[in-house]
Chain A
């Protein structure tokens, strides 16, 4: 069974760069047709797609994040990484990684809570 596990700092300060890692196990990370995405959910709010990447490194992002977001893959470690620059308190959220093919997000990690506070 495919498993995704997010890891990250937990607590950070405004203006810092958020760095998260998602480790994939139990399946082929480089399987064709599938993309790997980061999605977040602020407390009590809905889901927001941040961006996706293919195992080859092709990426596409939510335009609302402009140039602050970078997603990358490390196929040797079966990991997907998220970097988000200049975070604000409003970006306190649970951050999920997920596998998807088109609009079908079929496997999700458990999520990791990131709190942005001074």
Chain B
């Protein structure tokens, strides 16, 4: 079972802001990364480290961490942001990688 917990689903109105959260004890000492996955496609890295975006990822995506929770914020959500989002980090032992349970984002 995953040691990183995410809300199963969230919805956001077009152009509005949504924050996705990922909670786990290991996040107190490890950075997380965030991935966007559209149906039938491989995951795409959108945020990593403290708050870094790979080349090509729009600046409406941002990340933050507080305590045992890391967050991904989409500011001004677009229709193309509708997807599943996964966080990942190390487990509490630091020995293995774990992915969060995933959040399905619907843009209304």
Contacts and interface: CB of A to CB of B under 8 A. Distances in A.
Contacts of A62: 96
Contacts, number: 58
B100 interface: yes
Interface string B87-99: 0111000011111
- Contact count band on B: 20 to 34
B26 to A, nearest CB: 10
A25 to B, nearest CB: 16
A94 to B, nearest CB: 9
Interface in B36-83: 41-45, 48-49, 54
A44 to B, nearest CB: 10
A46 interface: yes
User: Would you list the 7 A-B pairs with minimal beta carbon distance, nearest first?
Assistant: A47-B99, A108-B42, A49-B97, A104-B48, A46-B102, A103-B33, A106-B45
Interface of A: 37, 39, 46-49, 52, 60, 62-63, 96, 100, 102-106, 108-111
